[in-house]
Amino acid sequence: MNKQNNHIKLLVVLVSMACSGAASASGFQLLEQNASGLGNAYAGSAAIADNASTIFYNPAGMTQLKEREFSAGAVLVDIHAKFNNNGSSSLGVLPNTGNGGNPGGFAAIPNGYLSFALNKDVYVGVGVGAPFGLTTEYSNPWVGAAQAIKFDVKTYNINPSVAWRVNDKVSLGFGLNWQKLEADYFRLASVASTAATIHLVADDTSWGWNAGALIDVSPTTRVGVSYRSSIKYTIEGSISGALNTPAKANIKLPDTLILSATQKLDDRWTMLGDLSWTGWAKIPKVDITNTSGTVLQTLDTNFRNSWRVALGGNYKYDGNTTLKFGVAYDQTPVKGESTRLVSLPDNDRIWLSTGAQWQLSPSSKIDASIAFVHVRDSKIDNDQTAGGRGRVTGEFTGVNFWLLGAQYSSSF
The pLDDT, as a whole number, for residue 96 is 86
Cα–Cα distance, 55 to 115 (Å, whole number): 8
Size of the chain in residues: 412
Q: Which residues of 179-201 are buried (b: 16+ CB within 10 A; e: fewer)?
A: bbbbbbbbbbbbbeeebeebbbb
**Per-residue pLDDT tens digits for 126-152:** 999 999 998 999 998 899 999 999 999
C-alpha span between 393 and 398 (Å, rounded): 17
What does pLDDT average to in each consecutive run of 10 residues of the chain (412 residues)?
A: 57 52 73 96 97 98 97 95 93 86 92 97 97 93 94 96 98 98 94 88 98 97 98 96 93 97 97 98 94 92 97 96 98 95 94 98 96 96 93 95 96 92
Contact status, residue 170 vs residue 222, Cβ threshold 8 Å: no
Cα–Cα dist 328/396, whole Å: 22
Element (H, E) at 9: helix 2-17
Task: State the pLDDT at residue 190.
Answer: 84
DSSP 8-state assignment for residue 28: T
Report the C-alpha gap between 272 and 261 in whole angstroms.
6
Which residues are 225's β-sheet partners? 213, 259
Q: Which domains, and CATH codes, for the chain?
A: 2-411 (2.40.160.60)
Estimate the share of the chain in helix, then strand, then coil, as percent rounded to the nearest 5: 10, 60, 35
- The answer to whether 270 touches 263, Cβ cutoff 8 Å, is yes
Q: What contacts 182, CB < 8 A, 6 or more positions away?
A: 19, 152, 153, 154, 155, 202, 203
In the chain, count H helices and then E strands: 2, 20
* Distances from the Cα of 359 to the Cα of 44, 111, 262, angstroms: 20, 20, 20
pLDDT of residue 3: 59
Rounded CA separation 81/398 (Å): 5
Cα-flanking dihedrals φ and ψ of residue 272, to 5°?
-135, 145
Query: What gap in Å lies between CA 236 and CA 227, rounded to an integer?
Result: 28
Per the CB < 8 A criterion, the answer to whether 392 and 144 are in contact is yes
pTM over 0.85: yes
User: For position 193, what pLDDT does the model report?
Assistant: 76
pLDDT digits (tens, 9 = 90+) for 9-63: 555 555 555 555 555 567 899 999 999 999 999 999 999 999 999 999 999 999 9
- What are the CA-CA distances from residue 208 to residues 98, 231, 258 (Å)? 42, 5, 17
- Average predicted confidence (pLDDT) for the chain: 93
Of 196, 185, 203, the C-alpha closest to 241 is: 196
Residues with Cβ within 8 Å of 153's Cβ and at least 6 positions away in sequence, in order, are 28, 132, 133, 134, 135, 181, 182, 183, 184
Could you tell me which of 262, 395, 243, 397 has the C-alpha nearest to residue 324?
Answer: 262
Find the helix or strand (DSSP H, E) in which 5 lies. Answer: helix 2-17
pLDDT at 7: 60
